[in-house]
Structure 1
């Protein structure tokens, strides 16, 4: 149950250092950008719903 609420992977996803040994290409960069945008949109929507529920 403890691992269910472990959000360290999500929190560190935005602040990772780039690995100089890893090759990157356009598709990989695009995928990570879309993932970051979708996580931010989800968090904004979730915060909006919580604030609307509280008021």
Structure 2
């Protein structure tokens, strides 16, 4: 395993900005699951940025 693939964030950003697939069926549970996943990843990234900010400003 090389280091280049370790920090490949293309799939993460693709998850946030992908377009709606008209061939895929959707329901309330699936939409809720995707919303919770996006919310949790966003909260993680915000907390990571806050921790890095605090690390470099002290």
TM range (shorter): over 0.9
Partner of 2:33: 31
Which residues of structure 2 form unaligned runs of 5+? none
Query: Aligned ranges for residues 1-55 of structure 1 at < 5 Å?
Result: 1=2, 2-55=4-57
Aligned residues, how many? 55
- For 2:33 and 2:6, how far apart are their aligned partners in 1? 25
- The CA deviation string for residues 1-55 of structure 1, in whole angstroms up to 9 with x for no partner, is 2211100000111111000011001110000000000000000000000000000
- Which runs of no fewer than 5 residues in structure 1 stay unpaired? none
| Aligned-residue CA RMSD (Å) | 0.6
